[in-house]
Every structure is written in structure tokens, then in C-alpha cells.
Structure 1
């Protein structure tokens, strides 16, 4: 079956913001990414307040190393679970705030740390590149598989798990779903150059958000991915946006509010459909 490819239809921006720790979370629930959440992410103090609502959790890998993640619990449990994978900057307040927003949307949300607590300051590309180069792919894979198992078995989880990642994390969202079965995979402009044989290992459907103006994750790469997904017989929903790389990150120079809001709404619709009982 041919994989569907859609063009974006931008949504109009809304208004809203929050002040203080409690009102930040209320703002997240009332006004998703188009305004309230974008305002929080772009404001370091508000992002810090949202991030501080998360709980730090740990587990031990087979080699004895302890790895950490930040957990956001929804109001009602048991709930479907979402594993979030950070950009190449590391597990910063932006990604933790996204976990808080997923929890406001009713998901048990876990933001994983693949860098052992290290974070590159915004704009410090040299440090971010260094962190990615130092990452051991085998350890990263084991870490993500372990956290997926942890989420699936958690008392507050229904057992349904999806992965979501941005940029560096978008690639690892796909990698994790290839390494172990998950119910759904969301990729925001991540590298998707995996073989047909690798893609055959996927269990659940994949949703991808990509920018036509992205010079790093090219249209050729994405179209090859779509063709390989088709050949592997896997379900792919692919959305193109007239935007550049990292268009959904309110803290970056290439942020596009309308496309970010559209991608967020599509992500929520996709997860609701794929993780329902």
C-alpha cells in the first residue's frame, strides 16, 4: 500500500501565556503549542518552572551504569505512555516542558537523558556536536530499550508506548522503535537513512514531520525513507512543511509558529489513534 504524503495546512495562532509554576501548567493545558507552550519554551524562567514539576527517575543498565530520565504523570492513570528523546543539545528544559505538556494531554511522559546529565547551552553547536560524537550507539540503544520496557511495565501505564524525538532525537525515535517493538513512532526532522531490512522490524506505524527547506535532512533522504517503508510494508504518514530544520523549536532561529502548531496537532491526533485501547 502506498504511503500517504500530505501537505501542511497552517493553523492560525492563538493567544495565551502563563506566569509562575502553577499557572505555567494551567497555561499548557489551556493553550497548546501555538501560543501558551511556545511562550513557555521561549522563556527560560517559565521553562525552568515547568521542568521542575517533573520527577527524576533512574534505572541500571546491564553494564552497571545508572541512567536517568524525567517523568511527567497525567492526572488520570493508567495512561498511554510516550518516551521523548531530546535534540543534540541534551535533555534541557525545553524537552522537559514538552513532557509536562504531554502529561497535560493525558500521557505518562518520560523524557530520556542520553548524555549522562550533560547539556550544551543553546547555540553552542560545537559542544552539542561533541556530545553526539561521544555517544556510544550500543549504550544509547540499550538505554532506550530499557526505558521503553520500564514504561510498558509501569503501574501508571496501560502498556501502550510511543516514541517521539526531535532532530538527533528524531533519528533515535526511529532507532529505538527498530530495536524494540513500540506501538507508534513520531519523528521530527531526524535522520531516517535506515535499510529496508531494518524497517521491517518496526511494529507500529510511523509519523514524520519534515521541512522542505531543511538542508540537513534532505528531501532525497526522506523520499528514500518513504520508498523503503513502502517496500518493507510498513505504515508511514509523512507531512512536509515549507520550513527549515528545527521549525518546531521555539528557542531557535528557524522556528515557524504555524507549522509547529500544525505538526503538534497532527502528532496528538496520531498518538490518540494509535495508542487507544
Structure 2
């Protein structure tokens, strides 16, 4: 009996590029759908493809929120100028002091996917704090377009100061060891690089497809870095060579991994079109090994 033909619409690299322009550059929602319609051939095809390019919160939980192996809760702590909120996940039965990791979200704010990443880290033996960096503006909204708009309103120095405040609060938690790392994705990857420049107490940083720190700021970096990039991500990858040269010239401890043939956000398993299981699993295993080596 012949297999049934696939009913999934074909997604091209040009469509993924259009979505990246929409979510990271100046293309608005209407412009994105107009471009996607031209690429897909019809409005109906574009309407079917758009959800596959976007993140789907219904697919967010690799680790259930009520997993008995974990203790997780909403928390608040002092930021640079006002209280910040976040999601703290820790292993339930580990009685010893835990190394801590700050989890920094993408440009859509603190959502279920990032909470799930915190839970994955907790299962590896870390105290993981996923901060809502939109707290100063009232917190992450359900509307991702609104969240991206709000991200653009944040002041860079103040946001970096809030990240440093989160590091200080978690490092002083009664269940943590004082050793602290940070992992971030997309916008959050860029913030990890800025935190490495500005917070000398950071013990290790992992940036997934994040904007690089300026070459002139690299001298301030003390933390070892692991930098993950998607091979097809021309927008972010244009900064790799200059960053690598500055890190090498400064004698910094770093690793750069480029995953061929995958797109920006390849780690985000809630995005059907851009997620790459093999690259995500390899990058994650490297990330966990790196944190255990540097913070354990």
C-alpha cells in the first residue's frame, strides 16, 4: 500500500528569512504576511505556513511543570531600580549547595519554553532562574508581537544591571553554592555577552545565536564563554569573526560552535520550521558539560 503524500506545506529558506526579518528587524506583521503570501503562492498557503515558523506554546514542555523531581516557583527579587520577577527551578532532593544558572529569554519575553529550559537545567543539578526582563514594563504579555515591541523599549545598561542583580540574588540563595553561570538565547544570548563584559562575578556564559559584544569591550570579560551559532544565520554570524579575533587577542577562554545547515533559534523546540533536533541536542550536551566543568 502506497504511503500517503505529506500534507505539510513546503517551507523554504526565503520564508524563514522573512520570519527572521519580521521578528528581529523592521518588517511588520502585514509586511511579513505579504511577503510570505508571495513566497507561498497564495494567502491560504501563507496562513498555513506562518504558524509553523512561529513558536507554539502548546509544545513547550519537555519537562512537565509539576515534575516531582523538581521544586519550581515564581519569585521576585531586587533589580537595579525596582523589583524583578522570575521563575526559579531546583532539584527537589539535592540537599547540598547547587551551582546556579541564569536563563535569559529570547525577544518574546519569559514564556513557557524558557521556563521549561530552566526545568531542564534543574534536572541536571542546577538552581536555574529564568528572569522576566520585561518586569520594569509590567511583565511579559501573552501577545508575542507586543513582547518584542516592549523588548525594544528596554535600556541596555539598565537591563544588564538587572541581570547582574539577578546573579547576585541567586548567588546569595541559601541553596546555591555561590558559583554562577548564564545561558541566553537570541536576545538573551546577546545579554549573556554583555553580562560577561559588565559583571566580573559571572563564572561562565553560554550564548545561543546572540549578538556579540563590541571588540573594544572584550578586555573586560573574565568568564569563560561557549558560543553557539546557526550556520544559516547570516544576520548574527556576520559578527563572529571580529568577536573571535578580539577574544583571541585578549587571551580569553572561549569556544565557538557553528552548526551547519540550521537556522537561528534551532534550539527552540516550539518552532516546527526552525528547530533542529540533532543540533539542539548536541549544543545542549555541550552546554551542560561546560557548566558542570566551570561551576561544579
TM-score band by shorter chain is 0.7 to 0.9
**Does the 8 Å contact 2:185/2:207 carry over to 1?**
yes
Please report the RMSD computed on the Cα atoms of aligned residues, expressed in angstroms. 2.2
Deviating runs (4+, > 6 A) in structure 1? 45-48
Q: Which of 171, 174, 183 does residue 152 from structure 1 map onto?
A: 171
**Does the 8 Å contact 1:42/1:250 carry over to 2?**
no
TM-score (norm 2): 0.73
Q: Which of 146, 149, 157 does residue 127 from structure 1 map onto?
A: 146
Structure 1's 41 and 270: CA in aligned 2 closer, same or farther, altered over 3 A? farther
Q: Which of 55, 59, 70 does residue 43 from structure 1 map onto?
A: 59
Q: Which structure 2 segments of 5+ residues have no match?
A: 1-55
Shift of 1:93: 0.6
* Equivalences, count: 231
Structure 1's 214 and 50: CA in aligned 2 closer, same or farther, altered over 3 A? farther
Of structures 1 and 2, the one scoring higher in RCO (CA 8 A, sep 6+) is 1
Q: Which of 55, 62, 66 does residue 83 from structure 2 map onto?
A: 66
**Pair 1:57 & 2:78 matched:** no
Q: Secondary structure at the match of 1:89?
A: coil
**Pair 1:184 & 2:201 matched:** no
**Does the 8 Å contact 2:63/2:119 carry over to 1?**
no
Q: Distance in 1 between matches of 2:60 and 2:208?
A: 22
Instruction: Summarize deviations over 1:60-113 as a string: whole Å, max 9, x none.
Output: 2353x2111110112313110000000001000100111011111000110011
Q: Distance in 1 between matches of 2:116 and 2:288?
A: 16
**Pair 1:165 & 2:214 matched:** no
**Does the 8 Å contact 2:193/2:213 carry over to 1?**
no
Q: Secondary structure at the match of 1:258?
A: helix
Instruction: Summarize deviations over 1:120-163 as a string: whole Å, max 9, x none.
Output: 54xx4x43431221112232122111111112211111111001
**Pair 1:275 & 2:295 matched:** yes
Q: Distance in 2 between matches of 1:143 and 1:83?
A: 12
Q: Distance in 1 between matches of 2:148 and 2:244?
A: 27
Q: Which structure 1 segments of 5+ residues have no match?
A: 1-39
Which residue does 1:33 correspond to in 2? none
Structure 1's 95 and 223: CA in aligned 2 closer, same or farther, altered over 3 A? same
Correspondence 1:192-271 to 2 at 5 A:
192-196=212-216, 198-218=217-237, 220-242=238-260, 243-252=262-271, 253-271=273-291
Q: Secondary structure at the match of 2:113?
A: helix
Structure 1's 103 and 226: CA in aligned 2 closer, same or farther, altered over 3 A? same
**Does the 8 Å contact 2:61/2:112 carry over to 1?**
no
**Does the 8 Å contact 2:231/2:259 carry over to 1?**
yes
Shift of 1:45: 7.1
Q: Distance in 2 between matches of 1:53 and 1:154?
A: 14
Q: Distance in 2 between matches of 1:42 and 1:106?
A: 26
Q: Which of the pair has more CA radius of gyration?
A: 2
Q: Which of 96, 99, 119 does residue 80 from structure 1 map onto?
A: 99
Q: Which of 93, 115, 119 does residue 96 from structure 1 map onto?
A: 115
